[in-house]
Structures are given as structure tokens and as C-alpha cells.
């Protein structure tokens, strides 16, 4: 269960931030005449949890899909694990994909497959895994995300939103990736489930030494989990820095997102030494206004 796992890693230091695992340089992406990204730069180092934020339609999912190789860039370079994704052969691309896990924004699970078969699917795709081993791996992943084995035979429709996300994570972890992508992992969850989810990701980050790229609209998730936040606006990454540094950048999206009432409330929950680095506008009262 997750409780013993989270207790076991609580005192462990977070993974050391090391070499680059993602380097995106001068990325441009167009759909027809619509420019989504223009000369965008983005990088992630091993051990980081990078939150990607930006308005709806700003190209967050599209950026992740290009890094995963599910979508081809118009121009620019994307290096993952030091390799240029545009110049690798199919075999290397498959190997690279097996080092990355993804929780998609939509359709986290196949609705026609049981929990067991959803988690087993990436392993089955990989080739022949002996039945007993497959069972052990699936049960281990379920346990890792804090779900009792009895849920293995359930269909996705019989699960709560929080459980669907957990099973999605278990599936994303099936091949033991080094790099985990989460696209809006707490969207649609109630505050309690969101908090549990944040705890789960923090635990897995420590326990597995994962590197995480997490697209999110959720300010609390962003402030409590991320080591850095990358803000997408005006078709590029406007700033990629600590939450407190990003909050000080003068830009309409940042003012609206970080310095609105909800943003201020999330920022003011930072530990004191980080709160001290916030811009003054972030420290204005977050409780007096009635509007959301
Ligand atoms: N396959 C596609 N063909 C054409 N346009 C697309 C395609 N995929 C995405 N787009 C467009 O690209 C833009 C960015 O989409 P994307 O899904 O990356 O946004 P997002 O930042 O993830 O938004 P949200 O926060 O709503 O999930 C949108 O205008 C979208 O309509
Ligand atoms: Mg999206």
C-alpha cells in the first residue's frame, strides 16, 4: 500500500537534480497556418518535477506530444535522453518510448479493458511476458499507487475519478519509466483526492527517482509538487523557474494566473523561506475578496 511506501521514503532526500533528459531548442509547431509554438525553448533535468502551465489552447499538450514523438515538430530540435528525436531509427524510438510513461489528459484508461488488463497492456505490447510474472508486476504497480488488489478485476466505469487516475499512473509506470508525463492529473478530482494524488506523485518521485513533467491548471498541485514551473504564453516558454521567481515576471497571463486570489492563496502556502522571495503583489490578502 502507498501508506508504508510514503512512510518509507519520507526521510529520504528527493532525487538529485542531474543531467538534461529533455532539451527542446527553437521549436516551432504549426497546424496549417496556425502557429502553436514559435522558437520555443524548454528543458528538464533528471530528478526534476516540472509543472507546465499556460492558458487553454496555449499548446501544453501539443508540446508533450512532440516530446513523446506522437507528433512531429515543424522545425527546431527535440533531444530526449541526449538523442535528437528527428534522427533516430524506429527501434531506438521504441526503446526511448519505453523509458517514458504518460498519463493522458483524456481517456486515461481503455474503457473496455479491466484494471488488470489496462495495466498489463504496455507489458503485453512489449512481447511475451510469462503469465505469473505479468500478474506479479500488475499487482505490484497497483500496490505502488495505493490500490488494493481486489480492484484488479473491475472495469473503469466502476471506479471513482481518483481511482481512474491511480490506475492510469500504474499503467504509465508498467515499464518502469525514468520520465513520467502527467497531463492535467488532478483535473476533475475533489480537493481531498487531489491532495492524495499530490502525495502519491511526491512519494513515487522519491521512491523511484522519477523525473516528472506535469501539465496542470491546478495552482496547489503546482506549488506543492514542482521543482520548477514552465509558463507557456505567446507561443513560447516565457519563463522556466521556481514558482516564486515565475510569479514575479510581468506578463498578463502571470498576473491573472499567479496573482489572482487563488494564485495568491496557493503561493502564500509556500514555506516561509520561499514565501520571502515572492513579489509583493503575491502577498496581498487572499481571503478578503468574495469573487473566485
Ligand atoms: N491535431 C491538431 N490539428 C489541428 N489543431 C490542433 C491539433 N491539436 C491541437 N491543435 C490546436 O493547437 C492548439 C493547442 O492545443 P493543445 O491541446 O496543445 O492546448 P493545451 O494548452 O493543452 O490546452 P488545454 O489546457 O485546453 O488542454 C489549440 O488551438 C488546438 O486547437
Ligand atoms: Mg491540454
Cell of 106: 483524456
Report CA(66)–ligand 1 centroid distance (Å). 12
Give the number of the atom of ligand 1 that is nearest the alpha carbon of residue 63: 18
More confident residue, 202 or 287: 202
Pocket flag, ligand 1, residue 257 (CB < 6 Å): no
Give CA separation, 277 vs 218, 222, 254, in Å.
21, 17, 16
Say whether 78 sits in a helix, a strand or coil: strand
- Taking only the tens place, the pLDDT of each residue in 213-250 is 999 999 999 999 999 999 999 999 999 999 999 999 99
Pocket flag, ligand 1, residue 146 (CB < 6 Å): no
Pocket flag, ligand 1, residue 177 (CB < 6 Å): no
Question: What confidence category does residue 290 fall into, taking pLDDT thresholds of 50, 70 and 90?
Answer: very low
Question: What confidence category does residue 6 fall into, taking pLDDT thresholds of 50, 70 and 90?
Answer: confident
Residue closest via CA to ligand 1's atom 28 equals: 57
Residue closest via CA to ligand 1's atom 3 equals: 31
Report CA(227)–ligand 2 centroid distance (Å). 21
Pocket flag, ligand 1, residue 216 (CB < 6 Å): no
Is the separation of the CB atoms in 231 and 240 below 8 Å? yes
**154-187 burial: b if 16+ Cβ within 10 Å, else e:** eebeebeebbbbbbbbbbbbbbebebbbbbbbbb
Report the alpha-carbon distance of residue 229 to residue 242 in Å, rounded: 6
Residue closest via CA to ligand 1's atom 4 equals: 31
More confident residue, 289 or 134: 134
Identify the pLDDT of residue 8: 80
Report CA(62)–ligand 1 centroid distance (Å). 6
Report CA(31)–ligand 1 centroid distance (Å). 9
- Taking only the tens place, the pLDDT of each residue in 87-120 is 999 999 988 989 999 998 876 799 999 999 999 9
Pocket flag, ligand 1, residue 59 (CB < 6 Å): yes
In the numeric block, the cell 526511448 is attached to: 96
Report the alpha-carbon distance of residue 95 to residue 59 in Å, rounded: 26
What count of other Cβ atoms lies within 10 Å of the Cβ of residue 279?
16
Report CA(60)–ligand 1 centroid distance (Å). 8
Pocket flag, ligand 1, residue 56 (CB < 6 Å): yes
Report the alpha-carbon distance of residue 201 to residue 50 in Å, rounded: 12
Report CA(214)–ligand 2 centroid distance (Å). 11
pTM equals 0.93
Pocket flag, ligand 1, residue 62 (CB < 6 Å): yes
- Taking only the tens place, the pLDDT of each residue in 125-157 is 888 889 999 999 999 999 989 899 999 999 999
Ligand at shortest distance from the CA of 62: 1
- Taking only the tens place, the pLDDT of each residue in 153-183 is 999 999 988 899 999 999 999 999 999 999 9
Pocket flag, ligand 1, residue 57 (CB < 6 Å): yes
The chain-wide mean pLDDT, for the chain, equals 92
Amino acid at each position: 500500500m502507498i501508506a508504508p511506501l510514503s512512510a518509507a521514503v519520507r526521510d529520504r532526500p528527493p532525487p538529485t537534480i542531474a543531467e538534461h533528459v529533455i532539451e527542446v531548442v527553437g521549436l516551432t509547431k504549426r497546424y496549417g497556418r496556425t502557429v502553436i509554438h514559435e522558437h520555443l525553448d524548454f528543458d528538464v533535468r533528471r530528478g526534476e518535477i516540472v509543472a507546465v502551465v499556460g492558458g487553454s489552447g496555449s499548446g501544453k499538450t501539443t508540446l508533450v506530444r512532440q516530446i513523446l514523438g506522437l507528433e512531429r515538430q515543424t522545425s527546431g530540435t527535440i533531444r530526449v535522453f541526449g538523442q535528437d528525436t528527428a534522427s533516430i531509427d524506429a527501434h531506438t524510438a521504441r526503446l526511448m518510448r519505453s523509458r517514458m510513461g504518460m498519463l493522458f489528459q483524456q481517456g486515461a484508461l481503455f474503457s473496455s479493458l479491466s484494471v488488470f488488463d489496462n495495466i498489463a497492456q504496455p507489458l503485453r505490447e512489449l512481447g511475451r511476458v510469462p503469465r505469473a510474472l505479468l500478474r506479479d508486476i500488475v499487482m505490484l504497480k497497483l500496490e505502488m499507487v495505493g490500490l488494493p488488489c481486489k480492484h484488479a478485476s473491475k472495469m473503469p466505469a466502476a471506479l471513482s475519478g481518483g481511482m481512474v487516475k491511480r490506475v492510469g499512473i500504474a499503467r504509465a509506470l508498467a515499464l518502469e519509466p525514468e520520465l513520467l508525463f502527467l497531463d492535467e492529473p488532478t483535473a476533475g478530482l475533489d480537493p481531498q483526492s487531489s491532495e492524495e494524488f499530490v502525495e502519491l506523485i511526491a512519494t513515487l518521485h522519491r521512491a523511484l527517482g522519477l523525473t516528472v513533467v506535469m501539465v496542470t491548471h491546478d495552482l496547489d498541485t503546482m506549488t506543492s509538487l514542482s521543482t520548477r514551473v514552465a509558463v507557456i504564453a505567446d507561443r513560447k516558454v516565457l519563463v522556466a523557474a521556481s514558482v516564486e521567481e515565475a510569479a514575479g515576471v510581468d506578463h498578463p497571463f502571470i498576473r491573472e494566473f499567479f496573482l489572482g486570489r487563488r494564485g495568491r492563496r496557493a503561493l502564500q502556502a509556500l514555506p516561509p523561506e520561499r514565501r520571502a522571495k515572492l513579489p509583493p503583489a503575491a502577498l496581498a490578502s487572499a481571503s478578503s475578496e468574495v469573487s473566485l
